[in-house]
Every structure is written in structure tokens, then in C-alpha cells.
Amino acid sequence: MMKTKGLEKVRRFGTLRIAEHWLNAGTFILLVITGLSQKYHDYQLSQWLIMTLGGIDTTRIIHRYSGIALAVLTINHILVASYGVIFLKWQPSMVIHLKDFRDAIDNIRYYLGLSDHPARCDRFDYKQKFEYWGVVVGGMLMIATGAMLWFPTLVTRFLPGQFIPIAKAMHTNEALLAFLVIAIWHIYNAIFSPEVIPIDTVIFTGKISRERMMHEHPLEYERIFGPIQPSHELQGEIDNTAEQPTATTIS
């Protein structure tokens, strides 16, 4: 990607979206540390983490209240996004369409040298959408099963007792899956991907270079600035302050 002095920037995320991302990230880290150390308690590293946190009882308390924080963040995100789409006419840019699956196929063809250009994506590409919904749906599953494990006596007043071990299996396995997805997929795309290495600064500044926007989100670029011109000159700074609800992600 070309580097231009004074490269024009376009605002992609507002302050609230950036704060939401880092609150989710901090909560996720706490849940991973306190949750997986209990799941794999036989390992020396897990025992060291538990003792460092003050013992198993303290670890469980931190995990449970981190779960409450995750529930508040997730439910708030869903309510704000729903209100924005329904009443403020925000574009539901995270909805998965058939085009996203076609974009995935187009990019595979491009990476294999079978196509001359990558997929033409809009505000969010298929990778971001799939990761976003994985976080939202996975988060709801973790909240529901975590509540069942926290209050098993209350749950078994209304549901058969077999639901408790089922909830435990779903909770711990989904936790491991979420950790692997974030550690492998999200961390790679945010740090090690050739497009952003050494690190993607968008989630820190909220801004993306106009050139990168043309490359990764050409449909959004054309909707805002018009058709992409090969000799397009980059200058000044643009502050596109329109906010839309985002995850993550998650990304």
C-alpha cells in the first residue's frame, strides 16, 4: 500500500464505538484468564494464575462479575443497534447477505490467482461480519449458560436437572472456541495482516486512510466520494462523523 505524506483520513468509528471495543476487550481478557484457568485447573500455569488472583473463590468472583459486565455490554449494544436501525434510520451494515458469501469466494479466487481483483466490499466485509455475529451470538450463549451455572437451583425449578451439565459443556467449549477465534483470526487481522502490519490503528484513532478505504471498502468509498479515479489525489482531512453500531469485535 502506497504511503503518502499527509495522507487523507476518513473517520470510521466514533469515540463511543472505540470505548465499547476496549471495554469488551478488557472484559473478554478477564473472562478468559479466570474461566480457562478453572477449566484447565490441572495445569501449572492455571494454578499459578488462580493463586495470583487470590485463590479459587476470588477467581470465581472475578469471573462472575466479569460475566455481568459482558452481559451489560452485549445487551446495551443490541438495544442501541436496534434503536438506531429502527428509529434513527441507521443502515444495518452488519447484516449478512448472499453477496458476502460471493465475496468470500471472489477473494479465494483472487488469492489463488484466478481473478484480477479482490472482492468489492462495503462498510464491513464478510470477515468482519462473520466475526461480529460470532461474538454477538457466542456472547448471548455464554451469558445464558453462565447464568444457569451460577444459579443451578433456580434453573432446576423450571427445567430438568440435565440442563446444568449441558450448560457447563456448552459454556466451557464456547469459551475455548471464542478464545481461539480471537487469538488466531482477530489478532492476525489486527496486527499481523500485511494490510495493517505492524498494527491496525483504526480502533485507536477511529480513522482510516482514504487509500486503504478505496482498497478494502470500495463500495462505501464510492457512496461517499463518488467513483474511484486511478489518479485520485489525496489531500487534507475528512471527518465523516456518521456513526453506526459496530462490534469487536471482535475486529
236 domain residue, yes or no: no
Q: Assess if residue 247 is contained within a domain.
A: no
Question: Is 2 within the bounds of a domain?
Answer: no
What pLDDT is attached to residue 193? 85
* pLDDT tens readout for residues 2-61: 344 445 899 999 999 999 999 999 999 999 999 999 999 999 999 999 999 999 999 999
Whole-prediction pTM: 0.82
**Residue-by-residue DSSP string for the chain:** ----TT--EEE-S-HHHHHHHHHHHHHHHHHHHHHHHHHTTTSHHHHHHHHHTTSHHHHHHHHHHHHHHHHHHHHHHHHHHHHHHHHS----TT---HHHHHHHHHHHHHHTTSSSS-----SS-HHHHHHHHHHHHHHHHHHHHHHHHHSHHHHTTTS-TTHHHHHHHHHHHHHHHHHHHIIIIIHIIIIISTTTTT---HHHHSEEEHHHHHHH-HHHHHHHH-S--TTPPP-S---------------
Domain total in the chain: 1
Residue 245 lies in a domain: no
Question: pLDDT class for 1, splitting at 50, 70, 90?
Answer: very low
Report the percent of the chain where pLDDT is more than 90: 75
Q: Which domain holds residue 72?
A: 9-225
**Residue closest to 219 by CA, chosen among 120, 76, 110, 108:** 120
Residue 142 lies in a domain: yes
Give 109-143 pLDDT, tens digit per residue: 998 999 888 899 999 999 999 999 999 999 999 99
- Tell me what percent of the residues of the chain surpass a pLDDT of 70: 88
Query: 183 lies in a domain?
Result: yes
What is the pLDDT, as a whole number, of residue 7? 58
At residue 247, does pLDDT exceed 70? Answer: no
Is residue 250 assigned to a domain?
no
Residue 114: inside a domain: yes
| Closest C-alpha among 18, 32, 3, 6 to residue 176 | 32
Residues 6+ apart with CB under 8 A from 137: none
Give the CATH number for residue 178: 1.20.950.20
β-strand partners of 207: 11
Tens digits of per-residue pLDDT, 65-124? 999 999 999 999 999 999 999 999 999 999 999 999 999 999 999 989 998 888 999 999
